[in-house]
Amino acid sequence: MMRANFLGSSFFSVALLGLVAACGGEGASIGTTNNEIAHAVGDVMGSADESLSRSTVTSSAVSALAGGSCYSASYSSCSSNERTVTYDQCVFGPLTLSGEVKFVFSAGSSCTINNTSDSIRRVPNFELVGRSGGKVGVVTYNPTTSGQTITKTGTSIYSYQVSGVRRYFENSSGTRTVDIGVSTTSAIQISGTTRATRQLTGGTLLVTDNLDGSSVSLTPDSLRWTAGCSCATSGSWIGQKTDASGVVQDFVVTLSGCGKAEVTVGADVASLTLERCVAL
């Protein structure tokens, strides 16, 4: 096992940095459902970047919470077309991180995605527990088939599909107050081999609130990266939100810089920082 070389970019989903207070303090808010949906979008972009930033997933592609340290984590070498970063009771102040994220490569790829039809499936399975007992988790519904999969379909062109990624928060009483499922109903297209040239177009992302029955369908519109950010810094995710009673509202996440987003739901507009999207 190799020790991971953690850089200053954010690795975890569910807006973990924004939930630090909720895990470790009393009476802290974890934000609205609309915020969590926007953070899910940020995680989709950050996870794509993580998988594509290196043709081989190396320790430098794996990173801890911005400003944090997790030197007890270990990152495996390539074995049977898999690599795994393991978090063994990593401590961030009052927070403890346990679990793993596995990268499963297509057969014969030798843990690379250099050739057409090569793929990589990212499989998160970890929890962050606060001093007061609050818990944030990111898991897949079925770790043998679900995750975030990128497949090379041509020269500098990739297909991106998300299947069964679940994000949740439980308070100190064990009540789950956030429970969101993320998937694609049609594949998103990625072009560009570097952050400076990367774009997302087409496809549909579905974010479902498992608690209140609402759902949001979003399509990337002119999403473009810049060299210094783990997510797109311009463009929008455009779609609609349908609540449990069938009421439909426009839902737009507009990016205006690294991690800077404006969330518009119907006539309501709010600014938000996507913690999964950080300067590199």
**Would the pTM of this model clear 0.85, i.e. be above it?**
no
CA triple 27-99-13, angle to 5 deg:
55
CA distance 91 to 129: 10
Do the domain assignments include residue 99?
A: yes
Determine the structural domain holding residue 18 and report its residue range. Answer: 2-273
* pLDDT, tens digit (0-9, with 9 covering 90-100), for 44-74: 998 898 888 754 443 333 333 333 455 555 6
Q: What's the first-to-final CA gap in the chain, in angstroms? A: 26
CA distance 105 to 280: 25
- Name the residue with tokens 């297909």: 159
92 residue type, one letter: F
The fraction of the chain above a pLDDT of 70, given in percent, is: 81
**pLDDT means per 10 residues in the chain (280 residues)?**
29 41 36 80 90 52 40 73 84 80 88 90 90 86 94 95 92 90 97 92 96 95 93 97 94 96 93 85
Number of domains in the chain: 1
Assign 232 to helix, strand or coil: coil
Do the domain assignments include residue 280?
A: no
* pLDDT, tens digit (0-9, with 9 covering 90-100), for 216-250: 999 999 999 999 898 999 999 999 999 999 999 99
Assign 98 to helix, strand or coil: strand
Do the domain assignments include residue 170?
A: yes
Return the closest-CA partner of residue 231 out of 69, 53, 32: 53
Contacts of 58 (CB under 8 A, 6+ apart): none
Return the closest-CA partner of residue 138 out of 277, 10, 15, 246: 15
Do the domain assignments include residue 202?
A: yes
* pLDDT, tens digit (0-9, with 9 covering 90-100), for 20-33: 444 443 333 334 77
DSSP letters, 236-268, are EEEEEEE-TT--EEEEEEEEESTTEEEEEETTE
